[in-house]
């Protein structure tokens, strides 16, 4: 499954950012926030495809927010609040470049968002790929 492979690779790349310490250079800020945004894009598109495949979601269109709510409802993600925060952070970082906002988001990416992506991967591996 191509979307799964893309998600796994983007998560692997994002996890490498955990080793980068403050102070961040402008390139590191852009790299970390860019990898985070890519990982989120890959994750919600994978979620959508898996939900459609398993018959939980039949519309061909849907906002990331709607997809996340359905994924929570069906147990694919366990913490809807964190995932909605991931979405809001992605939206904030992708529409306005502000070093201060990027720096403050990196701690959340490392402490809250990467673990949420890892939990999603485990859930998909355990329950959604072979069913």
Total-model pTM? 0.94
- How confident is the prediction for the chain on average, in pLDDT? 92
- The total number of structural domains in the chain stands at 1
Residue ranges making up the domain that contains 103: 2-128
CATH number of the domain bearing residue 85: 1.20.120.330
Indicate the pLDDT class of residue 101, thresholds 50, 70 and 90: confident
54-58: long-range contacts at Cβ-Cβ below 8 A with a sequence spacing of 24 or more?
54/128, 54/131
Give the model's pLDDT for residue 96: 65
Indicate the pLDDT class of residue 33, thresholds 50, 70 and 90: very high
């Amino acid at each position: 499954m191509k979307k799964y492979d893309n998600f796994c690779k983007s998560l692997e790349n994002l996890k490498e950012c955990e080793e980068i310490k403050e102070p961040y250079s402008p390139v590191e800020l852009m790299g970390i926030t860019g990898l985070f945004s890519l990982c989120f894009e890959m994750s919600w598109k994978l979620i959508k495809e898996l939900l459609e495949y398993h018959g939980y979601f039949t519309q061909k269109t849907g906002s990331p927010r709607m997809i996340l709510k359905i994924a929570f409802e069906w147990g694919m993600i366990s913490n809807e609040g964190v995932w909605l925060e991931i979405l809001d952070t992605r939206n904030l970082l992708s529409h306005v470049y502000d070093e201060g906002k990027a720096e403050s988001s990196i701690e959340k990416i490392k402490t809250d968002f990467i673990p949420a992506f890892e939990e999603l991967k485990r859930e998909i591996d355990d329950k959604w790929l072979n069913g």
